[in-house]
């Protein structure tokens, strides 16, 4: 299944409280459950005024549907071409 990186511009993202992040997580999980297609939220990173997410699904349109249904921005969505790490050769 393709992997996508999503950049979400959320002013003050790094100052969101644990409860606010928990609420965002719950909303995202609810939306994923209702999509009716294979979809996996792998992880997200909160940094500065952005949240960077890694999700798996078949089509970019599903990422955009998730964002709209959840009320989350999806300012940039790109499919991952390759994954490398320190052991890559």
Residue 86 lies in a domain: no
Give which of 77, 17, 19, 8 is closest to 49, Cα–Cα.
8
For residue 52, give its domain range: 3-79
- Tell me what pLDDT residue 71 has: 95
- Write the CATH number for 22: 3.30.70.3090
Say how far apart CA 89 and CA 69 lie, in whole Å: 40
Q: What is the pLDDT of residues 27-70, one digit of tens each?
A: 999 999 999 999 999 999 999 999 999 999 999 999 999 999 99
Say how far apart CA 13 and CA 20 lie, in whole Å: 10
Handedness of CA 9, 64, 34, 43 (dihedral sign): negative
Residue 27 lies in a domain: yes
């Amino acid at each position: 299944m393709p992997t996508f990186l999503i950049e979400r511009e959320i002013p003050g993202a790094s100052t969101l409280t644990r409860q606010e992040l928990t609420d965002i997580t719950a909303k995202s999980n609810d939306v994923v459950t209702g999509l009716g297609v294979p979809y996996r939220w792998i992880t997200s990173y909160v940094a500065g005024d952005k949240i960077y997410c890694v999700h798996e699904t078949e089509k970019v349109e599903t990422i955009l549907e998730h964002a709209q249904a959840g009320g989350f921005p999806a300012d940039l969505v790109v499919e991952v071409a390759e994954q490398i790490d320190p052991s890559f050769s």
